Amino acid sequence: MSASFAVRATGLLLGLLAGIAAAGDDDAGAAPVVAMGAAKTWDFSVTLDGKPIGEHRFNLRATGDERLMQSTSQADFVVTLLGIPVFRYHHHAVEDWRGNCLRGLEASTEENGRTTRVRLRGDELAAHGGEGDASGCMMSFAYWNPAMLGQTRLINAQTGKTDAVRVVALGSAPIEVRGQQVTGRRWRISGPPEAIDVWYGPKGDWIGLDATVSGGRRLSYRLR
């Protein structure tokens, strides 16, 4: 495992470890991902070239009136070479939402012993909308929320910065989920260091993710 791979993999994870997407504060027609008082979990096994390196879990719960929600995200990865750990990654993020608009973000990321933290609230988040967006309603990389697919800019939960993105549909294809072949719809997100393919099931639920990192190695998420 080269040091360059660790750097490139880290760049990819900037996008993978964010929390949630937003469509617009006034978008009353957008159905919430969970109903009031409900909760949902996405629990993924993560592999590199088919070999397990860890897990990533997303939890979402509706917290009250006005479509208030809170999401948490936690990832733990260890990449080894000849049985020796060469790359360790831990990420934890908490995001507060009103409808599909991000209203608060706190994240901590540890990479091989180096920790970075991001905290965004109120006006700091609104500033990401730019002068032309009076609402200040922004999204982050929220693969589990299909509203993300219509965006051109997303807040990166690890850096706290806004990334320009381009999303295109790649059509339907078979994908193995929980030991079974299903027909999924694949979308490609370009803009992070490497393009990311996100998979959704027949009912629109997030079921997987694939990306090619440095050296042509394949990083994959599969719902378990």
pLDDT, tens digit, for every residue of 137-194? 788 898 888 888 988 888 888 888 888 999 999 999 999 988 899 999 999 999 877 8
Which letter does DSSP use for residue 61 in this model? E
Extract the tokens encoding 145. 């929320």
**For residue 20, how many other CB atoms are within 10 A of its CB?**
30
Residue 178 in contact with residue 224, Cβ under 8 Å?
Answer: yes
Phi-psi label, residue 89: left if phi above 0, alpha if psi -120 to 50, beta otherwise:
beta
Q: pLDDT tens digits for 8-59?
A: 443 444 344 333 333 334 343 345 576 656 789 999 999 999 999 999 999 9
* Rounded CA separation 190/54 (Å): 24
Q: pLDDT tens digits for 113-143?
A: 899 999 988 777 766 665 444 356 788 898 8
Q: Among 154, 180, 152, which Cα is nearest to 167's?
A: 152
Whole-model pTM? 0.79
